[in-house]
Structure 1
Amino acid sequence: MTTSYDASGVHPVLGVDAGTTTLREADHLVRALASTLALPPGTVACTHLIRTDARRGTAVSLELPDHASAANAWRHLTESEPPPGHREAAAHAAAEHTARRSGRAVLFPGAEHLTGTIPLSDLLELTAIDRVTVVGATSGELPAPTTPVHTQNHVRPEWRDGELVLALVPAVGNTLAPFEVPNPTPCCADHP
């Protein structure tokens, strides 16, 4: 496991590469780190696909709300020397998250409110998600704030151009659902 840490930023971001290869493994890593490191409320944890000559798989980024939490996590994560190629993947994940160019958020403020079916307005008002897009909708077309969203207890917004954006798809009965499903079919999931 390795990390990249810059204490000069407003919200410190750590990169972690524990050798996970799939998004599902990275999601489990995020949950394990949240428990092991006792990540504080306000933490944003993302997964990142890594495609380099040295490494194919996933890495994780952790944006912590304060420097003390980041320093404690940093000490814990750097107790062992990382395998070759993992340091670069961790640094890449941290850089992408810091720039808010990419990263699939697993933990983020308000995520605990995203269970069952909720109105779109709650999804936007109660969480750190900045906006939604509807796959297949015409440009500028937004659903009504009262539109039900079937969360499937699996909501993974992504950083895009500085915003945390959730991709939704139309669902049965004029409702919406996250584009990413919790248990994708093996033929389509997590291709390296």
Structure 2
Amino acid sequence: MKICMLSLSASDDSVGRVGSQALRRMLAAVGHEVDWIDIRSLPPVWVDNKGVSALPEEYSEVDASLRAADGVILAVPVYCYTASSPAKAITELFCKSLARMPVGILVSAGSLRSHLAVGDLMLSMMFEQGTVCYPKTVMVTKGDLSLGKPDPALEARLQAFASDFLAFAQAVQAYRQLALASEAA
């Protein structure tokens, strides 16, 4: 499968980035093609109604990667018990590419219960964009890292998430292809 991963933290020492890179390595090790994109490589833009084509070229490249993917994993930081503003902006900017797309979420935060904070983002994606969100998230905190690397418990959680998300994304593919073909007709 081809998976597009977006790391949505602007912080240099992002726990989510560390977790998403570990997840990327796991997926690649078992033969999946992973396109990992760090939002820090994108120029800042305003979210408006002009669409991706009105944005700098880097956004068209991300859009193409999303459209070519069989599934998407978002590494979403939580600040003050809500999904980060870059996460919301990215899901709105690429709403057409995320339509009917299976999406999984890796949550990074300071509190173990913060994974619930992405519920509003997931609802927006499902109801406004038709995204097919995987209902389980995987949580990463600083306590899950040892010397900047995932500890064994986090590795196990990431592995379980990867396995379950891949099965979910595979199951959604028939629906996605049928819906996209219907739209094209």
TM interval, shorter chain, is under 0.3
Please state which structure has a larger fraction of its residues in helix.
Answer: 2
Bigger radius of gyration:
1
TM-score w.r.t. length of structure 1: 0.27
Q: Higher relative CO (CA 8 A, sep ≥ 6), structure 1 or 2?
A: 2
